[in-house]
Each structure stands twice: as structure tokens, then as C-alpha cells.
Structure 1
């Protein structure tokens, strides 16, 4: 999730690095466990984040000024509608948008924005969401290039998703039933015939607003998406802005943003659960105020220097390792990254093995594996965005140790000792429920498995392998459908039965058993 550099000059050269931010940069990585999160006392291991602002890795570290704003906000009472009005006006002043709003994350901002485009602040409609029976507006248009897992925030309002791929399809789909057009801000949007400007021009002819999901992007001032014609744009608060992880902002047309507030908590109805406290509101405002004061050029240079340190230490200590600093393209998550590559066969270790060892090691380090057009090469990718001072040296030292003394390679597969072909009826046990709707249809060629995996509602391709009596089957349902499901079945075949464990990626784990149909 890297990219986007054009049109950011106004936001990236706005002033000197303030004293508080400099202090955070020089000392935020130090301190005792008591001064930090205290996670170890409940058995949770903190980590060094060399991957990026992934929500599952807890986003980013909030700025000292944000912590101070949260602490100050917690010491007094306010009326939340009045707070939303004051914060909204101030966000507008800072970002040059008409108005702003703090939500409980970017996804919540998208949901509130969708409700605003659907119900317009009308409480008679609001209390019926997500049942849109009798509503005038019941559809959201999403170009094919913008289908992704986060569009669930749009359909949560009850809107039917209509996919389009061309100008003519968009023009045909737009109508009085269209609540909005949603765009997922990525470089591929600008390369499409349905770029933001084109979409906005066609949508506005039908009085349909355009909503941009810019969760992972840097905040541009003036806002690049609003300048291209979008009516609303949403950002994550816990990524580039380094505000509260449980916050986000919505910017744009004042009438729609104010309506989005009506459709949010503390007001009752479907969105009551998306509550934003006074602490998150003021903390998020402080993060935006800091954004326009931070020295982004100095931050970028510091990130690059950390990557150079890692590259220099690793390539200097381990022969055969090459390094390349990759500069981003576009606006999203504007950060450089470092690729370290080597010949896996000569080195006796692949990048993923190093990644796994760093994750399990002490200190715990999160980075990504890297590949190459040359299949002989394997390696690592490091993003410095969320690193703290000193992390660069720690990461370099740990990588050098593992490359000089690699972890054992996984055991090679055994010749297949069972036949896993056929149609298998599955019973999957989840955290608090079971499903008997799943089915695997597999064909076996030597150790290779191919086929399909039918789930509760959708069928997807499946691939796998057999090692001895052990079987592994993987299936994926990709984001191009607006969802992402990844299942890995690992188990043992015993005649016409097999069973084992199920890894469902972000949805954690389960167990399964299967019987082969005769």
C-alpha cells in the first residue's frame, strides 16, 4: 500500500519540525515498560513495525501533542453536537475544505457519508437504515477499479452495489436511485478512463455526489480529491496523520458532512455503535493541526537515512546481498521502502523464512518478504514509515544474524501416500458455530491438488498438495468482488475421512473434518 507523490507539495512543505515532534522522533523509542504500554504484563509482545500502517499492527504511534490533547479533553465535559460543530469548522479552516467531521475511523466516515447521501439527515429515514424499502436512493455505484474489502462500509447502509467499468456503463447506471459513486483512491484510478475528474463530471450531471476513500493517503492541502471534483473524502486518523487509531476524518461539502454527523453517534439508530468521544475528537483535531506544522521533508529524509543504514550494514556484512531503495509513485502512503535480495539456493534461506524468524524472535520485528522477476532471488522488504530511532540498527543486526546463521529450512515434502481426489463434504467448526455447507472437489496429479472450494455462498478455485498422508488445500476469494476470503485447510487423510486445522487469515482459525462422497 505504497504510492502517490504528485500534488502533495502544499502539504509537504508547510513549516519547520516543531519541538514536540522532534522530541518524539529522538526519544519515542526509549523508556521502561511502565512508561510504555505495559503489554508484557498481560502476555502481549510489542513489536518493531517495519511493515507500515496496518490496522492489525495497531496503525501508527500517536504524536505527543495528540496525547496531550486527549488528556486535556478527558478533564472536562462538553455537549457533543456543539463539539462536532466547532471541530468541523476548525477542520475546514485547516484543510481548506468546506467542513469536516471526526468519525471512529475511516470506515465509519464512509458509512456516515453513505448515510448522508442516502437519507440526507432525515431522521424518519435514518431510523430505518439499513432497510431501504421505500427509499428513493438505494444504489451505490463502484467502478471495477475501486472494488475492495472496505466497500462493506458502503453496503452496511443497505445500498446495493452497482459495478461499472466504462464511461458508458457509468452513464447508464446513474439515475434517481443512485445515492453516490464511491472511489478507492489508488494509482490505478488515475490511469483509468474512469478517473476521479471524469466520474465527478458525469455524476454531477445527475446530482449524484462522489465519495473518495483516501484512508492510507497523506492529507493534501488543498485537497487533491476535492479539487478533482469529489464531494467527500475520508481519511484514517491512525495512519499518516498519527492521530488516534480509533478515529478518522470526513471532509468536503458542508451540507453532506453535517448530514453525516446526524447519521452518526451519539444519535440513536444503526450508527450508535460508531461512537466518537470528546477525547478522540480533540485528539484527531490536534493531529490535523500538527500535520500542517510538521516538516514532512525532514521526516522523509530521516526515513531514507534509516533504510540506507540497514542496506549498508546488511550488504557490508553478508556477501551476495543486494539492496535497492524504492521511491513511491502517486499519493498513497508516501514512504520509501528497501528491498534486500539474495540467491536463495546459495544462501540456504528464503526471505519468508527470515520474516517468520524475525516475527517469532526477540525483539519481535515485522517486515515483509520480497520477490523478484528472477525466481532464483528471494529477500525482504522494509518500510520505515513507522520505525522509531534506533530501530534501523536493530533490524539490520537481526537480519545479519539470521543470514549468517539461517534458521532450518522447512522439511521437504514426502512422496504422496494417499489419494485425496474426489468430492469431500466438510464440517467446519468456528469460534462459536459450525457450517456443513462447505465442499471440496479435488483432482490429484502426483502430489498436486486442483479443484474448487464451495463455501456457504460462493465457490472459489482451490489448489494444494499432498505430502505423505498430509494434505494442504488453499482457496481465495479476491477483493475484485468486494470481499476477501482466504482459507487454508491443513490436515491428514485417513481413507475416506480427513481432518485438521483451518487458517482463515484475518478471520483467525478453526477446525474441520471431511468425508469423501462415494
Structure 2
């Protein structure tokens, strides 16, 4: 059997979070079993997408659900659905969208690296607001005959420049425009699975390979049946823009199982584990002279997600002899490989994907590096 060791691939301790570049999350045995069983039989993919969507919608008590090849694929399909609908002639033109309703309004403070998925599908962004403030009248004024929808990036809701989702929905719906919400990493809490749909969002996107712990290549789309049907019309297995975003039967069954497990999971126990791990690391590292450490929660986007406690470590370069980026790189060298992230001012330790006991290994790695210096 081919293993990571055989390939020479280093295994890591993931203290960064559910980032795709660090392989997302770890699947439960029940999910792997469901995928293995699914691999033993042929099925019609179109029927499987329909029936799995109905099953998930029933579990969550929402109008409709659709499994996608990741949340970014959901962004592309949402864009295609708003531009081409279920018109096969228009669908075959995408991503060429000149002459069609192809503009999507987005707050400047909500622009992010995943915008490329919208552009890939033929969407064009119309920005409103600035880095300090955004007003409802700006959204009203941006609407024209080419407007196809409004995008909202949940992580950016923490910016002071952001209008609330409630306000965005109110104005967009007054103009009969759909609101597409990117909530890819907004779990936990599990209540978020239905929160944004219940607020009136027309399409809400989640990653299947983050806190849901389904296959890394999966995503979940929730929302209005009419719109999700249009997303399906533009997606796999149809010959349309989403055809390259292939979903196998194993992924569909794996994510469906992961969602069912997630809804029955003790979320309080998971949060207690993260708190215990961060408390332990804080106590063991707080007296290091070169560190100024805080326990807290993020106040910036792309933090995977903001509901989980973590350590924020300021590094005194003069005392330590190297900066936080160099410390991050040293942690990632040699086994055990520890992966952390940095922001503008801090080295960050996120317990989201830590296994029990790995917090002790992390502390030892820190102390070994500092002792070596």
C-alpha cells in the first residue's frame, strides 16, 4: 500500500485551522465507511444529487440543498445560475457573458481571494462602499438592468464598513435580486447551518471539508429550490460551466453522512476541548520572555472561523533573535512538523484541528526551538 511515508510526505500537526492548503479536516470512520460502501455500486449521479439534497434539506428543515465540489464551486454555480438560469443556450455561452445580466454587487470590504470563482463563471463585480463605511443608498444606487445578484462574505461582516446581512437582504429583495452568502468556514456553531437561510438569504454556501469534516473536495449549498435547480442545471453532470467541477458518488454519500453526524454531535464538548488546549498552551508558554501572549478570538476575516478561541503571540525579535515568520517556519521544519499561521502582528495557534495531546507536542516544539537559539 502507498503511504505518506512511502512517498516521503511529512505528516503535520495542524495548529492553523481548516485551511485547504493543509488538507482541511479529518473525516470520521463513519464517513469513510459510507464512502467505501458507495464505491461498490453504480448509481445515477443526477438522481443521487437530487435525493441527497432532499435528505439534507429534511435534516436541516430548509427548502433545498445541493452538494457541490467545494464552496468555491458553489460560488461559480451560483454565478452561472443568476446569469443563465436554466437556459441551455445561455449556459453553453458561459463564462462569456457580454450582453447578459452579469453584474454582482459586493461591498468593497467583502472582496476576498475567492472572488475568482465568480469571475471564472462570467460575473463582473460592482463595488459599493469603502474601507470605512457603506450605506444602503449605495446598494440602491448600484442596481441597474444588468444586475444579477448581490454577494455577501460572512467573515467580512465583522468589519465596521460592512452593512448587515439583514439590511443587504432587505434592499436586494426589494429589487427582486438574489443574495448569495459565502459562509464557507462559518462553522461552528452548527446553528449557522440554517441561520443565514432563515434570515432570508437565497443561496448559502459552506465547505464540506472544514468543520463538517466531510470529504475535502465537497461543499454544501442551501437555499431556495428554484435557484438551486438552476445551479444544478449549470453544474455537473451537465455539459455546462460546472462540468469540470466533478462530484463522485463517494463524495456525495460521504458529505451526506458527515452532515447527519454533525447535527448529532456534542458541540459543547468540542468547545471545551479547544478551551482546555488553548489554556494549557497559554500556561506553558506565557512566561517565555520573548513572548507577549493573549487568549482570545479573531476580529479579522479569514480566521477559520472566528468562534474558536486561540493564542495570539507577539514575538520580541530583539530578545528571540528572529521574527514571528521565522519562528513559524522553524516550527514547520523537522518532525514533528507544526503548522501555524501569522497575521500582521501575531503568530496564531488555532486548536480547531488539533488532536488530543498535540497541544503538549506543540509546547515542547516551541521550547526546543527557543532552547536551540
TM-score by length of 2: 0.90
TM superposition shift of 1:274: 0.5
The match for 1:334 is 307
2:244 match: 273
Equivalent residue for 2:125? 161
Pairwise mapping of residues 194-209 of structure 1 onto structure 2 (< 5 A)? Answer: 194-209=163-178
2:88: which partner in 1? 123
Distance in 1, Cα, partners of 2:226 & 2:284: 55
Matched length? 363
Give the secondary-structure state (helix, strand or coil) at the position aligned to 1:183. Answer: strand
Offset at residue 134 of structure 1 (A): 4.3
What's the counterpart of residue 388 of structure 1?
355
| CA–CA separation in structure 2 for the residues paired with 1:390 and 1:243 | 23
Q: Per the alignment, in what secondary structure is the counterpart of residue 280 of structure 2? A: helix
Partner in structure 2 of residue 324 of structure 1: 294
Q: Deviations over 1:281-340 (max 9, x none)?
A: 111111111111111111111111112222233346x45645432135699352110134
Q: Aligned-pair distance for 1:133?
A: 3.8
Report the secondary structure of 1:168's partner residue: helix
Query: Bigger CA drift: 181-190 or 85-94?
Result: 181-190
Q: Contact conserved, 1:190 with 1:196, CA < 8 A, in 2?
A: no
From 181, 195, 215, give the equivalent of 1:244: 215
Match of 2:104 in 1: 140
Task: From the superposition, tell whether residues 187 and 154 of structure 1 become closer, same or farther in structure 2 (CA, over 3 Å).
Answer: closer
Equivalent residue runs for 1:370-385 within 5 Å: 380-385=347-352
Q: What is the aligned partner in structure 1 of residue 206 from structure 2?
A: 235
What is residue 298 of structure 1 aligned with on the other side? 269
For residues 39 and 185 of structure 2, the distance between their equivalents in structure 1, rounded to whole angstroms, comes to: 28
Q: Corresponding residue for 1:181?
A: 150
The answer to whether residue 37 in structure 2 is matched with residue 72 in structure 1 is: yes
Mapped partners of 2:305, 2:315: distance in 1: 29
Report deviation, 1:120: 1.6
Task: Provide the secondary structure at the position in 1 that maps to 2:114.
Answer: helix
* Structure 1 residue 363, shift from structure 2 partner: 1.2
When residues 343 and 146 of structure 1 are mapped into structure 2, their CA distance, relative to the original with a 3 A threshold, is closer
Tell whether the 8 Å contact from 1:167 to 1:193 is kept in structure 2 after alignment: no
1:155-214 deviation digits (Å, cap 9, x = unpaired): 222122111123222112213321110111125367446221111111112211000001
Question: Which secondary structure state, in structure 1, belongs to the residue aligned with residue 348 of structure 2?
Answer: strand
> Is 1:150 aligned with 2:120?
no
1:75, CA displacement in angstroms? 1.2
Contact kept? 2:202, 2:223, Cα under 8 Å? yes
2:19 — aligned with what?
54
Bigger strand fraction: 1
Whole-angstrom distance in 2 between the partners of 1:264 and 1:222: 22
Matched, 1:402 2:369: yes
Rounded Cα–Cα distance in structure 2 between residues aligned with 1:42 and 1:222: 38
Give the CA deviation at 1:341.
4.4
Q: Considering only CA atoms, is the larger Rg found in Structure 1 or Structure 2?
A: 1
> How far off is 1:108 after superposition?
0.4
Matched position secondary structure for 2:151: strand
Cα offset, 1:346, TM superposition:
3.0
Say whether the 8 Å CA contact 2:107–2:162 is kept in structure 1: no
Give ranges in structure 1 of 5+ residues lacking alignment. 1-33, 373-378, 407-518
Summarize the Cα distance change of 1:221–1:133 in structure 2 as closer, same or farther, 3 Å threshold.
Answer: closer
Secondary structure of the residue aligned to 2:16 is: coil
For residue 43 of structure 1, what is the aligned residue in structure 2? Answer: 8
**1:19 alignment counterpart:** none
Question: 8 Å contact 1:95–1:221 — kept in the other structure?
Answer: no
Describe the superposition over 1:377-435 as per-residue Cα deviations: whole angstroms up to 9, x where unpaired: xx6421111111221111111111111222xxxxxxxxxxxxxxxxxxxxxxxxxxxxx
Does the CA-based 8 Å contact 1:189-1:196 persist in structure 2? no
Structure 2 residue matching 1:51: 3-state secondary structure: coil
CA contact (8 A) 1:243 1:283 kept: yes
